[in-house]
Amino acid sequence: MRVAVVSLLAILFGLLAGGVLMAATGHNPFEGYRYLFEGGLKNPERIGNTIATGTPLIFTGLAVAFAFRTGLFNIGVAGQMLFGGLCATAVGLNLDAPRPILLLVMIAAAFLGGALWAVVPGFLKAKYNVHEVVSSIMMNWIAYWTVYYAVPAYFKGTYLETESQILPAAATLRDPFISGLFGGSYINMGLYIAVLAVIVVAFIMNKTTIGYELKAVGFNRHTAEYAGIAVNRSIVLSMAISGGLGGLGGMAQYAGNANNMQIGVLPSQGFDGIAVALLGASAPIGVMLAAVFFGLLYSGKGFMSAMTEVPPEIADSIIAIIIYFAATSILMERLVSWLIKRRKGQRSKPEEQQPAPPPGETSGKKEGLYDVEHH
């Protein structure tokens, strides 16, 4: 409950600051926001596009959130997306099978590819205590150059050297039914998988012994070790699941929203996943809502810049500011405490005050995220 208030406040402050920014650059903020939201929500098609834009972010947000909850910082989701996407593309272009089987194999390939990419930093952390932030960033670049090499070499597009061959329609997540429901939007089956992933992740985290183990290792690896939990195995497994989710994000992007891969691009969704996870307080359902909200900003900003003079960079700035507020959730929580206290104080004698959060309650996981580069 309180967490949700913090996230909503972060959004509110982000929007306010964006308004100030628009006003300061000589634009009308009300008009700007009107078009921003209209651009994302005006008609079923635009709503569909908003959700579709948010779909890969659900996966990448889940990937980061899952790692956060288990004490790891997976900053390599972009690379996991790329490699997962490459694996799915390889299957989609080469496997001749009925569509359901083809798609299932592609999904499995994407998951395994992403998982493989994350297992490497996981293993290095478990075995040699190499910090996963460093090694997973390095893996991003390995994925980047792997795609750079593999796409022209093996999956060259018909017209362009820099793009992979277009996937046959059967090998994409296109779904005329849901697309029709949203007035011909490019929304696709990726959404189903995303919702399923949200449910599965929430289930693993809260109901299973694996989730219990992984979280215990994340919170306190010494105690986990003392209790006989295989700490190193847990770290690798945790990274594998996180990376697998990132790989699915690649599938949703390259075989869902798009139908081929481009070389020379490190997908920004991988990094936005960090923001999504923060704003969603690392809770699966929160991640889903945050991802759709980011989808709204991204899909609305084009319309805003088309209809007004407000530059699209303003929307990016708003996103950045929201991340700042979400990342500094300690400050926000203090603000909430203070507001509650004041209201209680006005109504009656302070009979039941909220205590300040005990030190250390907001865990250190969120520290040091401010310097993440957004591409």
Partner 1 sequence: MEYIVEMLNIRKEFPGVVANDDITLQLRKGEIHALLGENGAGKSTLMSILFGMYQADRGVIKVDGKETKIANPNVANRLGIGMVHQHFKLVENFTVTENIMLGNEIGRFGMLDVKTAARKIEELSARYGLNVDPYAKIEDISVGMQQRVEIIKTLYRDANVLILDEPTAVLTPQEIAELQVILKNLVAEGKSIILITHKLKEIKAVADRCTVIRRGKTIGTVEVASTSEQKMAEMMVGRSVAFKVEKQASKPGETILKLDRLTVRNSKKVEGLKAFSLEVRAGEIVGIAGVEGNGQSELVEAITGLARVESGSILFKGDSIAELGIRQRIAKGIGHIPEDRQKRGLVLDYTLEENMIIENYYLPPFSKRGLLNKSFIRKYSEQILKSFDVRSGQGAVSIARSLSGGNQQKAIIGREIEQNPALLIAVQPTRGLDVGSIEYIHRRLIEHRDKGNAVLLVSLELDEILNVSDRIAVVNNGQLIGIVNASETNENEIGLMMAGVPAEEVQT
**What's the alpha-carbon Rg for the chain, to the nearest Å?**
21
Selection from 53, 76, 1, 10 nearest residue 278 by Cα: 10
Segment near partner 1 (CB under 8 A), from 80-88, 181-189, 221-229, 304-312? 221-229
Task: Out of 26, 98, 100, 355, point to the residue binding partner 1 (CB under 8 A).
Answer: 355
Calculate the CA dihedral of residues 37, 41, 42, 45 and round it to 10 degrees: 140
Of residues 179-208, those binding partner 1 (CB under 8 A): 207-208
CB of 298 closer than 8 Å to CB of 268: no
d(CA 137, CA 217): 23
Q: Is position 210 an interface residue for partner 1 (rule: CB under 8 A)?
A: yes
Q: Give the position of tokens 């569509």.
A: 99
d(CA 139, CA 270): 13
CB of 32 closer than 8 Å to CB of 310: yes
Q: Is position 340 an interface residue for partner 1 (rule: CB under 8 A)?
A: no
Q: Is position 373 an interface residue for partner 1 (rule: CB under 8 A)?
A: no
Task: Out of 23, 220, 264, 309, point to the residue binding partner 1 (CB under 8 A).
Answer: 220
Of residues 66-85, those binding partner 1 (CB under 8 A): none
Least separation in angstroms between CB 1 and partner 1: 14
Q: Is position 43 an interface residue for partner 1 (rule: CB under 8 A)?
A: no
Q: Number of residues interacting with partner 1: please give it, by CB under 8 A.
A: 30
Segment near partner 1 (CB under 8 A), from 54-62, 190-198, 213-221, 294-302? 213-221
Q: Is position 138 an interface residue for partner 1 (rule: CB under 8 A)?
A: no
Segment near partner 1 (CB under 8 A), from 84-92, 135-143, 172-180, 357-365? 357-365
CB of 110 closer than 8 Å to CB of 251: yes
Q: Is position 363 an interface residue for partner 1 (rule: CB under 8 A)?
A: yes
How far are the Cα atoms of 121, 193, 199, 201, 269 from residue 206, in angstroms, in the given order?
A: 25, 20, 11, 9, 26
CB of 277 closer than 8 Å to CB of 65: yes
Specify the 3-state DSSP secondary structure of 125.
Answer: helix
Q: Is position 223 an interface residue for partner 1 (rule: CB under 8 A)?
A: yes
Q: Is position 364 an interface residue for partner 1 (rule: CB under 8 A)?
A: no
**Residues at the interface with partner 1 (CB under 8 A):** 207-210, 212-213, 215-216, 219-220, 222-230, 350-356, 358, 360-361, 363
